[in-house]
Amino acid sequence: MTDTAQLAGLRVLVVEDEMMVSMLIEDMLTDLGCTVVGPASRLDEAMELAESSELDCAVLDVNLGGQPIFPLADLLRARGRPFAFATGYGDAGLRDVDRGTPVLQKPFREGDLARVLAELRAKVGSAEAKGS
């Protein structure tokens, strides 16, 4: 069981093109005490948020209306911001560079999201400890 208190205040960028799924993720994040950044439903919008917003981590839909999310994944990786992919296809559609990135298998429950966010939070903490 994940201690959700450790997630309080975590700033999470949400990138999801299905409005109902996006709203569900936002509700789950709010319930977990996180701050929602976005959400973004298009890649250009998500890239802008990633460059201009204070965020700790991100939950990324792999496919935004037929457009892959990978440019944003590359940007977040370059900025040292951990992220998880949300997809109905598991890691089947991921690039080799993305193997090992946490994957939320759609549909997922709040407990699944909390577990993955705790993993991302640990990465945020270790990056801050290194001074990056």
Let me know: does 117 contact 7? Beta carbons within 8 Å: yes
Give me Rg for the CA atoms of the chain: 13
Q: Distance (Å, rounded) from C-alpha 34 to C-alpha 4?
A: 10
Write down all domains in the chain, each with its CATH number in brackets. 4-129 (3.40.50.2300)
User: What global pTM score does this model have?
Assistant: 0.93
Burial 92-121 (b: 16+ CB within 10 A, else e): eebeeebeebbbbebebebebbbebbbebb
Q: What is the β-pairing status of strands 63-64 and 35-40?
A: unpaired
Structure tokens at 19: 């409005």
**Beta-bridge mates of residue 83:** 58
pLDDT tens string 21-57? 999 999 999 999 999 999 999 999 999 999 999 999 9
pLDDT tens string 82-117? 999 999 888 888 999 999 999 999 999 999 999 999
